[in-house]
Amino acid sequence: MTPDTVSDIPTITQDHGSFRDPSGHVYQINNRTFRTVHETAIDNYRFVRDTGLLRKLAAAGRLVECREVDESVLNLPGFKCQTILEHPTLPFVSYPYEWSFSALKAAALLHLDLHVEALECGITLTDASAYNVQFIGARPIFIDILSFRRYQEGEFWIAHRQFCEQFLNPLLLRAYFGIAHNSWYRGSLEGITTVELNRLLPWWRKCLSWNAFTQVYLQAQMQSLAFAKPQAAVQAVKTRKLPRTAFIGLLTQLRNWIAKLVPSDTSQTVWGNYATANTYTDDEAAAKRKFIAEFVENTHPRLVWDLGCNTGDYAATALAAGAHYLIGFDCDQHALETAFIRAQADHLDFLPLFLDAANPSADQGWNELERKGLQARAPADALIALAFEHHLAIGRNIPLPQVVAWLCRLAPRGVIEFVRKDDPTVQQMLSLREDIFPDYTEEAFATALQRQGRLIKVETVSSTGRRLYWYDRT
């Protein structure tokens, strides 16, 4: 690897999510990403690097690329490290509590595959954190170079519990009970404990499934014993031997089980079939696609946020028109599954994520900085919010001006669709509740939008009067 230097660097910012790792930390300089390798980790890093595994995995797109750069890049007072690596900056950082079932499953399979391949090279992984995986489009990529270290023959998988809590148990919650993991995971950033999941499992599930018996029931019993007799548990881990073939066998067994898991809630959701069962005619849908394409072709956005992305129809339109990268958000689990599988199959630069827009991801974790809130991450260049605003204004009782102001804060330009109160969809939403929204009018919407910026183009795209508003906040 060839050293490199960076001159005239104005600011250096440490990533608040990397403070736990004693092996090294992550820093941002403008739009560049660096990782330090501390003295305690340098021997393991060099051993792993010299095997060629890192280069091989990066070439396959499964591991973030890295190159060694000159130590003067991070010119911090009192700063000492053995090596500095530079990584390509990710287009967007997402978290496990925002992933769909299929995304979490893909991340789990990647982690297990990398661990097996590493063991075959005499290397292991120090932890099993789901936060070590990110996505480029729908493709999972491992980002923690320093998780790899030299394997010691006979050592036990010390990260087994972490893998179960952050990968396996959230998947089982959906596969066994039809309950999405997102809210639970967001409220418990380290995942779902095996003890808690074991309490939920019926006895027959533990008895009829060898995997559930060993990976949930037995693990829960062992953890309970460890809490009761911690010194004995520590001694057992120190003396326990796990041959490498058995280690690989354990990982492979887990992989085969996870690969077969599917969500148990297969019944149709409210918006899961919206892409094919909506109020638009083919001509009206084509008009919306044409409007979105024109918007993208004229604004050339790199990062677009699609709020209410559903199955990704208009995300695909935006990408085809020249958008560089697209993050979709939706709260319907079936729509997200369809969108993610579509992004995988079509190799789209599109990542659909779970979002409750009335309660979006907030700054949280240690010091309320470890995991960034939605707006603190890579800001969008452009916004698409089609058939979306009425879900907040009508569905969640949020005043229309506040909805418009929030949407415009997310991106300096965008397209927002306004759905009138006499639209069949809104009427359905109001059918079982009192209409307490006298101020929900198109005039009020347009006035609120013009307070945020200027209107570039307005077009009616449906027989029910739905309109697209192209705004520019700058």
* pLDDT tens, per residue, the chain with 474 residues: 444 554 454 578 888 888 888 899 999 988 899 999 999 999 999 999 999 999 999 999 999 999 999 888 877 666 667 799 999 999 999 999 999 999 999 999 999 999 999 999 999 999 999 999 999 999 999 999 999 999 999 999 999 999 999 999 999 999 999 999 999 999 999 999 999 999 999 999 988 899 999 999 999 998 887 776 666 555 555 567 899 999 999 999 999 999 999 999 865 555 455 555 555 688 999 999 999 999 999 999 999 999 999 999 999 999 999 999 999 999 999 999 999 999 999 999 999 999 999 999 999 999 999 999 999 997 899 999 999 999 999 999 999 999 999 999 999 999 999 999 999 999 999 998 999 999 999 999 999 999 999 999 999 999 999 999 999 997
At residue 271, the pLDDT reads 47
Query: Are 364 and 287 spatial neighbours (Cβ–Cβ below 8 Å)?
Result: no
At 413, give phi and psi (nearest 5°).
-150, 160
At residue 2, the pLDDT reads 45
Helix axes 219-228 and 230-239, enclosed angle (nearest 10): 120
Helix axes 333-346 and 101-119, enclosed angle (nearest 10): 50
Distances from the Cα of 257 to the Cαs of 211, 262, 384, in angstroms?
8, 11, 38
Q: Which of 192, 143, 135, 203 is nearest to 169 (CA)?
A: 192
